Amino acid sequence: MTKTAFITGATSGIGRATAELFAKNKIRLVLCGRRKNRLEQLEEELSKITEVTTLQFDVAKREEVSAAIKSLPENFKNIDILINNAGNAHGLSTIQDGNIDDWDAMLDINVKGLLYVSKAIIPQMIANNSGFIINIGSTAGKEVYTNGNVYCASKFAVNALNKSMRLDLNEHNIRVSAIHPGLVETEFSDVRFKGDIERAKTVYQGFKPLQAEDIADIIHFVITRPYHVNIEDLVVYPTAQASATILNKNQ
């Protein structure tokens, strides 16, 4: 039977690569993001190979999230797979120099956004006594690094929520899983450095970083295990990276 996946942050990076791979595997798609032009372009491209609908909303805005999800066409309402992927780092500063707007953005988007979307979709999974939630955490949610403070805290929260969801949803037969990538070359650093593309590029120089497609491939592997198998927590680094702070840039 055709499955339906709901992907937040589908307009770029990991979310986009996941949408493309799911489309090739004939998974019906609900693609979300704030950038309308990108959503339209994705819908045009991917609807050639699978059924696609798009929702434009900001995950940090509670009313927008709920209105958008309620507006889904009938044939897309039954979500089998939720990929909680939307998120970013905003800034890279010590705690004493941190920008409070950046802190708000990271906590509102990475933590509260994930909660708002999950809250809107979980009831229908409970009613079906089935479903799969994949939370995209980060190695920053396993180990803090200098200047990472609030971004790390937001991803530690994702790690905690992932574990909590698995406990609370256990009796409803819902699979819950987190994937925690290390350095992946996407628009992530462009956003972290507020459009300073040159600075962003330096993050991925001198080694082979993970690509969005690598993470999409892992997500697809996780969701295609038999239903009794739940890969609950998966950490993935590029080979050159051994921890948050140990990176071999001389490969």
- Estimate the crossing angle of helix 114-128 against helix 149-169, to 10 degrees: 10
- The SS3 of residue 69 is helix
Burial 88-114 (b: 16+ CB within 10 A, else e): bbbbbeeeeebeeebbebbbbbbbbbb
The residues facing 180 across adjacent strands are: 235
- Mark residues 147-176: x for contact with ligand 8X3 by CB under 6 A, - for none: -x----------------------------
Considering the rule CB under 6 A, would residue 58 count as an interface residue with ligand NDP? yes
* Total of residues contacting ligand NDP (CB under 6 A): 31
Q: Which does 34 bind (CB under 5 to 8 A by kind): ligand 8X3, ligand NDP, none?
A: ligand NDP
The residues facing 29 across adjacent strands are: 5, 52
- Mark residues 100-119: x for contact with ligand NDP by CB under 6 A, - for none: ---------x---x------
Binding-site member from 105, 183, 210, 223 for ligand 8X3 (CB under 6 A) = 183
- Report the residue number, 139 or 159, with the smaller CB distance to ligand 8X3: 139
Which pair of tokens denotes residue 6? 């709901």
Question: Which one is catalytic: 112, 116, 155, 204?
Answer: 155
Considering the rule CB under 6 A, would residue 134 count as an interface residue with ligand NDP? no
User: Known catalytic residue: 151?
Assistant: yes
β-pairing, 28-33 vs 52-56, is parallel
Q: Which does 174 bind (CB under 5 to 8 A by kind): ligand 8X3, ligand NDP, none?
A: none
State the nearest-atom distance from the C-beta of 197 to ligand 8X3, in Å: 16
State the nearest-atom distance from the C-beta of 60 to ligand 8X3, in Å: 18
Name the closest residue to ligand 8X3 (Cβ): 138
The residues facing 185 across adjacent strands are: 211
Measured CA distances, 94 to 31, 100, 118, 202 (Å): 35, 12, 31, 20
Strand ranges inside the chain, DSSP E: 4-7, 28-33, 52-56, 81-84, 131-136, 174-181, 184-185, 210-211, 233-236
Kind and range of the H or E run holding 22 = helix 13-24
Segment interacting with ligand NDP (CB under 6 A) among 13-21, 69-77, 220-228, 230-238:
13-21
Residues 104-143 that bind ligand 8X3 (CB under 6 A): 138-140
State the nearest-atom distance from the C-beta of 220 to ligand NDP, in Å: 15
**Cβ atoms of 138 and 233 closer than 8 Å:** no
User: Known catalytic residue: 227?
Assistant: no
Residue that the structure tokens 């962003």 belong to: 200
Kindly list the residues in this chain that would bind ligand NDP in the complex (CB under 6 A).
Answer: 8-15, 33-35, 38, 58-60, 85-88, 109, 113, 136, 138, 181, 183-184, 186-188, 191, 212
- Catalytically active residues are 151, 155
Kindly list the residues in this chain that would bind ligand 8X3 in the complex (CB under 6 A).
Answer: 138-140, 148, 182-183
